[in-house]
Amino acid sequence: MSTVFFALAILSAFWGVIDFVLIAIALEKRGIHVNMFLARVFFFRYLSQYKAATMSETGKVGSLYYSYIAAMNIALVCAIIGLIIRWG
């Protein structure tokens, strides 16, 4: 049973990576340079820049922001549940 939760955690993390790449593409289209080699270091900066850019354009935060947050939360919860089931 824990394997199912670990698989969901991996799929959700992959979903989050795809969302981050799409956020980087969206920032590049808006004229904000994204250094993909240092994306791990500047990750939170890029996420907040995407949030600010979409907020200023539409008055709402872009859907990729919430998609990324949801994916990472699902990955975290599934990984914790998988660990509890495996060692619990």
Listed by start position, the domains of the chain span 2-87
CB 86 within 8 A of CB 2: yes
CB 72 within 8 A of CB 12: yes
Per-residue pLDDT of the chain (88 residues; tens, 9 = 90+): 899 999 999 999 999 999 999 999 999 999 999 999 999 899 999 999 999 999 999 999 999 999 999 999 999 999 999 999 999 7
CB 8 within 8 A of CB 25: no
CB 39 within 8 A of CB 46: yes
Look at residue 34 and give its three-state secondary structure: coil
